[in-house]
């Protein structure tokens, strides 16, 4: 088996989750990590036993022993990094959301396509085992024709200050978590069913920020199906991830953070509980193997296999571009207070 050598771009929150997922993926090794700050790269390399760490981006991208670069960086860095990798003809995977808007996302997609390199969109939601199993039931006809998908993603707020600046992030809670819900709806309806218009609402209800900390959106698909998303940066109690898929012959419900196979009551600290947990004592609901539960392991395994086997991933920059186009329409609707069409580049 050819070993796929990986270059990690970034040493923060999502890069650590990628490393958790990768440790259970055979046939790969992380050969190096780059960060804007050398001390961050070195600390990350030490934590994960990575052989090299650098803050020299040009030299890192020029290495001839790396097969795949993982963009685990803030939103405002995605486009420039992807264009730089495409110019060097490097395979790449980018975390969600692909970009801050559809224009940036299209530039990334076009550059990667023109360079003839593999490009993967690391949307964990559609790799999560519960979501994949729900998709299998749908494809087997278990719930008939899908008519309505409702998704909720919520917690008490992001971990890094750049998320709160819509210029850097591209938006607020809708951009941060709505991208998960949108791609889940596309996955459940089928990617051949096109989203055509969006009605959105967003407001700042709790936090002192220029970005919306709560948002709703309704997406109408061709044929009349509805995708309904709720996202929040002011929900208490830790990460909340749920989906409902309703069809003509049944329904499916997923809840990977509030309906786990373990609950505990502790008078002392229970340690790490779940992403964005606000308490570690009293009644707690830990999530076993978060990297598996959220889809990090499955997506990393998939992208590694695609590089090794020369296959196109099932989530590409084109999917990320479509998601960004839907988010753009939702933000337009927030301003107009009307249904807004989803527009796509040809």
pLDDT, tens digit, 9 for 90 and up, residues 284-341 = 999 999 999 999 999 999 999 999 999 999 999 999 999 999 999 999 999 999 999 9
What Å distances lie between residue 104 and 52, 82, 86, 170, 317, CA to CA?
31, 10, 14, 10, 11
> What per-residue confidence (pLDDT) applies to 62?
97
Average pLDDT, the chain: 96
d(CA 234, CA 220): 27
pLDDT, tens digit, 9 for 90 and up, residues 117-127 = 999 999 999 99
| pLDDT over 70, % of the chain | 99
**Residue closest to 341 by CA, chosen among 224, 196, 179, 182:** 196
> What per-residue confidence (pLDDT) applies to 274?
86
pLDDT over 90 (residue 275): no
pLDDT, tens digit, 9 for 90 and up, residues 3-14 = 999 999 999 999
pLDDT, tens digit, 9 for 90 and up, residues 27-66 = 999 999 999 999 999 999 999 999 999 999 999 999 999 9
pLDDT, tens digit, 9 for 90 and up, residues 141-192 = 999 999 999 999 999 999 889 999 999 999 999 999 999 999 999 999 999 9
pLDDT over 90 (residue 346): no
> Domains of the chain, with CATH numbers?
4-123+296-315 (3.40.50.720), 126-294+326-341 (3.30.360.10)
pLDDT, tens digit, 9 for 90 and up, residues 206-239 = 999 999 999 999 999 999 999 999 999 999 988 9
* Structure token pair of residue 63: 């290495």
pLDDT, tens digit, 9 for 90 and up, residues 58-106 = 999 999 999 999 999 999 999 999 999 999 999 999 999 999 999 999 9
> What per-residue confidence (pLDDT) applies to 298?
98
d(CA 337, CA 188): 27
Q: Does the predicted model carry a pTM greater than 0.85?
A: yes
* Structure token pair of residue 202: 């967003």
């Amino acid at each position: 088996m050819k070993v796929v050598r990986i270059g990690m771009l970034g040493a923060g929150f999502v890069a650590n989750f990628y490393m958790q997922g990768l440790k259970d993926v055979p046939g790969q090794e992380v050969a190096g990590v780059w960060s804007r700050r050398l001390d961050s790269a070195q600390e990350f390399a030490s934590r994960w036993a990575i052989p090299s760490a650098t803050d020299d981006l040009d030299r890192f991208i020029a290495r001839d022993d790396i097969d795949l670069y993982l963009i685990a960086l803030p939103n405002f860095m995605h486009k420039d990094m992807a264009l730089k990798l495409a110019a060097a003809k490097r395979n790449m995977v980018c975390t969600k959301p692909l970009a801050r808007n559809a224009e940036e996302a299209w530039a990334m997609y076009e550059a990667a396509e023109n360079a003839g390199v593999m490009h993967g969109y690391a949307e964990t939601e559609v790799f999560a085992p519960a979501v994949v199993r729900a998709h299998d039931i749908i494809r087997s006809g278990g719930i008939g024709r899908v008519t309505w998908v409702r998704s909720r993603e919520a917690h008490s707020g992001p971990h890094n200050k750049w998320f709160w600046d819509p210029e850097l992030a591209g938006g607020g809670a809708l951009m941060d978590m709505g991208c998960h819900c949108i791609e889940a709806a596309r996955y459940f309806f089928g990617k051949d069913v096109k989203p055509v218009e969006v009605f959105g609402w967003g407001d700042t209800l709790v936090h002192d920020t220029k970005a919306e900390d709560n948002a709703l959106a309704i997406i109408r698909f061709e044929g009349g199906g509805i995708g309904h998303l709720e996202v929040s940066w002011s929900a208490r109690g830790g990460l909340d991830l749920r989906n409902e898929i309703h069809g003509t012959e049944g329904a499916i419900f997923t809840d990977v953070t509030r309906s786990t196979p373990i609950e505990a009551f502790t008078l002392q600290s229970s340690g790490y509980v779940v992403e964005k947990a606000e308490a570690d004592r009293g009644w707690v609901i830990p999530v076993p193997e978060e990297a598996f539960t959220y889809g990090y392991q499955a997506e990393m395994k998939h992208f590694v296999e695609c590089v090794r086997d020369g296959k196109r991933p099932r989530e590409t920059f084109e999917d990320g571009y479509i998601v960004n186009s839907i988010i753009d329409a939702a933000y337009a609707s927030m301003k107009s207070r009307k249904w807004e069409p989803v527009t796509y580049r040809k």
